[in-house]
Amino acid sequence: MRQKASSEEIFSTMSVPRAVRAMAVPTVAGQLIVLIYNLADTYFIGQTNDPAMVAGVSLILPVFNLIPALGILFGTGGGALLPMLLARGEKEEATRVAAYCARLGAAAALGFSLLLLLFMRPILGVLGAGENTYAHARVYVLCALVAGGIPTLLANVLSNLLRSLGLSREAGIGVALGGALNIFLDPLFMFVLLPPGHEVLGVGIATLLSNLISCGYCLLIFCGRQRVIAADFTAPPPRPDSRRAVYAVGIPGSLGALLFDVDYMVLDRLVSGYGDTALAAIGIVLKAERLPQQICIGLCQGMVPLVAYSCALRDYKRIRGVMRVTLLAGLAVAVLSVTSYELLAPQIVRFFIEDPATLAIGTGFLRVRSVAAGIMFFCFFVVFLYQGLGMGFRSLLLTVLRWVGLNIPMLFLFNRLFGMYGLVWSQVASDLLTVLASYLLLHRDMRGWS
């Protein structure tokens, strides 16, 4: 039986296509499980046919999305630095960075949970919880976010750190384990173990338990890999330059995740001006388009540690090879998704709803939004590439340009100029401009590679 490749082999001696496959395939699989997991709670609650329960769980999504954003801050920030330190032989500093990121992640989760507990009523009120939905939303928040905040965020941070150490398969299993368990435990607690009327409590408990188990698995794997770095969570803080490097990469990544959600909220708000049917249609389309997005994000996440390790060694030839393989794989996914969505848009929308009016609008929306798939991948690709290169300012610049400078303003502009369909075409236009700016910046920076 072939022995499993070590982290150093994956980073330095394995052929580029095999290395990208070893890092990206488990990450993509984990992203797909996360996608299914994100839909599971709403799907099973929907089986109750109780609109108040569905709304109570659904309106928590913007708050729930803050956890991955915090996870990116510490997990991606530390994850981009660890391969560089390992490439330079600085294992002790890598240990300190990993411990620092894990401790800060747990502290941030604790603070986040306490804020939710203390200010739950006003926060849920801002999110739109009314008389019928507040009780359901409160139960879900108490279980999934107040009690489950630390394990959920820590699992996110640890999975990123494991990936950065070349343990992409183990990180993918950790992510997938939480999602798979949640899908299994949701109906078990909702319809078997708890009495009718407590379905939201069942979903909350299932989410809490699945994230606890996922976090425990990641901790066991992390602590069992002493040959890579020492798993010492009591290690002293890293050097000031290492801390700056963590935030230089982590803050742009975290900000990008937050602005991604803000863009979706603005889009929903503007589409709501065209009625409930249009709002339902765009909601379905935003869910459907997540499939190619999650695959492309998984590819880019798998690329980052490989680029970071080679960057520390100034092996620009290998970086170019990793870039080329990742780009080809992402563009293949984009072409396949555009073709499938253009041909099968009615069937995809009908999977979610049979209403003729919503089906007609949703089909048109999906065919327009799918055009942006390949363009959007290149936007993700360049931002993640700069994270791997440790060039946090470049990543931040492109993130702010894309969301604050182009996407959100163009939503308002295209809505005024072209109406309802202008809202979906704005994504294509803004991403084209972002790709142009990204290419010019990257082309200039790559001229110095030798």
Q: What is the pLDDT along the chain (450 residues), one digit of tens a residue?
A: 344 556 677 887 788 898 888 888 877 877 777 677 666 766 677 677 666 676 677 667 667 777 877 888 888 888 888 888 888 888 889 889 988 988 888 888 899 899 989 998 888 877 667 777 788 888 888 988 898 888 888 888 888 888 888 887 888 888 888 888 888 888 899 888 888 888 889 988 998 999 899 889 988 888 776 555 666 677 888 999 999 988 888 888 888 878 877 887 788 778 878 876 777 777 778 777 878 888 888 888 889 889 988 988 889 999 999 999 999 999 898 888 889 888 988 998 887 677 788 888 889 989 988 888 778 888 889 999 998 888 888 888 998 898 889 999 999 999 999 999 998 899 889 999 999 999 999 999 888 776
Closest CA to 260 of 299, 284, 289, 302: 289
Closest CA to 216 of 248, 174, 261: 174
Q: CB within 8 A of 125, min separation 6: which ones?
A: 134
Q: List the structure tokens of 397.
A: 């610049």
The b/e string for 329-365 (b: 16+ C-beta within 10 A; e otherwise) is bbbebbeebbebbeeebeebbbebbeeeebbebbbbb
One-letter amino acid identity for 84? M
Rounded CA-CA distance 76/83 in Å is 12
414-420 CB contacts, 8 Å cutoff, 24+ apart:
415/270, 420/271, 420/274, 420/278
Rounded CA-CA distance 281/349 in Å is 8
Q: CB within 8 A of 348, min separation 6: which ones?
A: 288, 341, 366
Rounded CA-CA distance 115/111 in Å is 6
For the segment 119-150, what is each residue's pLDDT rounded down to a tens digit? Answer: 988 888 776 677 777 888 888 889 888 988 88
Closest CA to 156 of 190, 112, 125: 112
Q: How far is CA 324 from CA 3, 11, 176, 203, 318, in A?
A: 28, 16, 28, 42, 10
Rounded CA-CA distance 46/50 in Å is 7
For the segment 216-260, what is each residue's pLDDT rounded down to a tens digit? Answer: 998 888 877 655 566 667 788 899 999 998 888 888 888 887 887
- Cα 155 to chain centroid distance, Å, stands at 13
Closest CA to 253 of 287, 301, 291, 215: 301
One-letter amino acid identity for 346? P
pLDDT at 2: 44
Q: CB within 8 A of 335, min separation 6: which ones?
A: 374
pLDDT at 58: 66
CA atoms within 13 A on the CB side of 210: 29
Rounded CA-CA distance 83/311 in Å is 9
pLDDT at 60: 73
Altogether, the residues listed in the chain come to a count of 450
CB atoms within 10 A of CB 159: 32
Rounded CA-CA distance 406/435 in Å is 11
CB atoms within 10 A of CB 42: 15
